[in-house]
Amino acid sequence: MSLDKNTLVKLKNVGFRQNDKWLVRGVSLEVKKGKIVTLIGPNGSGKSTTAKIALGIYKKIEGEVEKYTIKVGYVPQKVSIDWTLPLRVSDFMVLTENLKDEAINEALSLTGVIHLKNKNLGNLSGGEFQRVLLARAISKKPELLVLDEPVQGVDFTGEIALYELIKKISDDLKCGILLISHDLHTVMSATDHVVCLNGHVCCSGSPLDVAKNNEYKALFGEQASQILSVYEHKHDHVHSNDGDIKQNN
Amino acid sequence: MFDDFFIRALFAGIGVAIVTGPLGCFVVWRRLSYFGDTLAHSALLGVTMAYSLEFNIALSVFIISSVIALILIQLQRKTNLPGDALLGLLAHSSLAVGLVVIGFLTFIRFDIMGLLFGDILAVTVNDLYFIWGGGALILFVLKLIWKPLFASTVNYELAEAEGLNPDRAKAIFTILMAAIIAISIKMVGLLLITGMLIIPAAMARNISDNPQKMVLFSIIGGLLSVIIGLFSSLEFNTASGPSIITASLVLFILSLLKIKQSIQLKN
């Protein structure tokens, strides 16, 4: 089989074990340029673990990871900045790559926190910090973005705006995104492919396919299933031959 | 110009302070004070090895400290003991073994106090070459690994995910720690080297709002400590190491006053 040039990272039947317990096992997925893959699943289902396997943070794994890019932007689920380290937002922006001032300003403006540029990171609120994390990840114009709960702690209107931004980034930069979220409402509008995890891949496919899946219903309840399908029906879309869903608007 | 022992000591101290400034910041940021202590304690073993094999002291200390660091990393992997217990185990056992070895070397007259607390009289022109040459090399390597080391200090997973290879940076930094201990042991003494690393950096933290400033103030604080400490050591005939560390403590206390002021300003 010839390799798809659009593939950025490919997980083949990967698993990770810690203290003799499998955190996640048997996961296969693929992130391509310009596509958004979303991982959903209950707490402890291995979403963050899967992301860390894809990023190469966990190395002693079962299975295989093929990575075709080194331009990676990552928003971890949890970052704590120690008081012993004096760090302004502007210092944090250039943490892994030297950027021009314009690039820093542009990214901070996009996530709406340009006014915090010279503030100390320790003094930011949870939502502000989350916006800075996202700005840092996109500022280096990565080919692959891995976002682990990127909008946690962000206010409701901000949440919608940031998801729109994430969608826009994926279109503009043609970068592939691996997104972790448990917000079923908002995520689905942009997602191309959903992987539902519960220690293993419980089901995967387009948002609508997943919503119809019985295992998904068992995991999240009938109501969650309705949220998804209702959401899908609010939009006009077509199902192409290969099973993809294309938005009309 | 280097005929005078005091000028030699001053230049040695200045060389040491320029290097301990930035390294000390990383020791504070990465919470490595006890690690530094352990390496410093093991330096005694390095000194005794140097005497018994008639080898250069700084090189011998560097080698022994690096070996101890490697043993520590292995122990961390192979045992379930907590990190501080392992550090204590290595620090005290290497110090004890060093002292026992000294007991066997009856043919050499040891200045134990000088080893533990520093001795300005002992600094030779050769030591100056080691301090300035070694110091320049340490700073050069630190500059090379600055980005991955700093990024992984802030967040290891971010650095790893975005391809900066933090493990390699950490290993190199460990070697740099062994190197700074090797070149500064004569000035400050092995019991007080960690003080030289962390006290100026802690002082700098109190008055800085970004990492570059903290490194700069840490260097300035170290330089002031050396100059004030050495002059008072000459004046009051005290050991050089404790005098330098006492001077840095005074600077730290002064920096606390500045914190108090800024808190009052905010209110």
The string of pLDDT tens digits covering residues A140-179 is 899 999 999 988 888 888 888 888 888 888 888 889 999 9
**Structural domain contains residue A54:** yes
Q: Any idea what the CATH number is for the domain that residue A37 is in?
A: 3.40.50.300
Is A87's CB within 8 Å of B210's CB?
A: yes
Whether residue A38 sits in one domain with residue A130: no
Whether residue A223 sits in one domain with residue A111: no
Q: What pLDDT score does A234 carry?
A: 44
Whether residue A241 sits in one domain with residue A163: yes
Taking phi over 0 as left and psi of -120 to 50 as alpha, with beta for the rest, A56 belongs to: left
Whether residue A99 sits in one domain with residue A35: no
Where are the domains positioned within chain B?
5-260
Q: What distance in Å separates the CA atoms of residue A34 and residue A240, rounded to the nearest whole number?
A: 18
Q: Which of A77, A96, A97 to mutate to test the interface with B (most CBs of B within 10 A)?
A: A96
Q: What six digits make up the tokens of A171?
A: 């279109």
Compute the average pLDDT of residues B7-21: 93
Q: Which residue in the set A52, A92, A120 is minimally distant from B209, CB to CB?
A: A120
Q: What pLDDT score does A102 carry?
A: 93
Q: Which of B155, B199, B203, B206 to mutate to test the interface with A (most CBs of A within 10 A)?
A: B155
**Structural domain contains residue A50:** yes
Is A85's CB within 8 Å of B208's CB?
A: no
Tell me how many residue pairs between chain A and chain B have CB atoms under 8 A apart.
66
CA of A89, closest CA in chain B: separation in Å? 10
**Structural domain contains residue A76:** no
Task: State the complex-level ipTM.
Answer: 0.84
Name the residue type at position A79. V
**Structural domain contains residue A12:** yes
pLDDT tens-digit series, residues B153-184: 999 999 999 999 999 999 999 999 999 999 98
**Structural domain contains residue A192:** yes
Is A70's CB within 8 Å of B205's CB?
A: no
Whether residue A34 sits in one domain with residue A157: yes
Q: What are the respective helix, strand and coil percentages of chain A, to the nearest 5? A: 35, 25, 35
Angstrom CA distances, A85 to A139, A220, B141, B172, B213, stand at 22, 41, 22, 21, 11
Does the structural domain B5-260 have CATH classification 2.40.37.10?
A: no
Of B72-86, B110-124, B145-159, least confident by mean pLDDT is B110-124
- The pTM (predicted TM-score) of the whole model is 0.86
Secondary structure (3-state) at A12: strand
Whether residue A151 sits in one domain with residue A33: yes
Question: Phi and psi of A14, rounded to 5°?
Answer: -85, 155
Q: What pLDDT score does A236 carry?
A: 47
Q: What six digits make up the tokens of B177?
A: 């720690």
The total of other beta-carbon atoms located within 10 Å of residue B245's CB is: 23
Q: What distance in Å separates the CA atoms of residue B246 and residue B251, rounded to the nearest whole number?
A: 9
Whether residue A150 sits in one domain with residue A52: yes
The pLDDT of residue B78 is above 50: yes
The domain of A53 spans 7-71+143-247
**Residue among A26, A45, A35, A14 at smallest CA distance from A181:** A45
- A16-A17-A23-A28 Cα dihedral, nearest 10 degrees: 20
Compute the average pLDDT of residues B115-142: 89
Q: What pLDDT score does B200 carry?
A: 97
How many domains would you assign to chain A?
Answer: 2
Residue B262 or A153, more confident: A153
**Structural domain contains residue A37:** yes
Of the candidates A119, A141, A163, which is a domain's last residue?
Answer: A141
pLDDT band at B189 (very low <50, low <70, confident <90, very high): confident
Whether residue A194 sits in one domain with residue A134: no
Residues (pLDDT < 50) of chain A are 1-2, 230-239, 249
Q: Would you say B119 and B240 are in contact if contact means Cβ atoms under 8 Å apart?
A: yes
**Structural domain contains residue A32:** yes
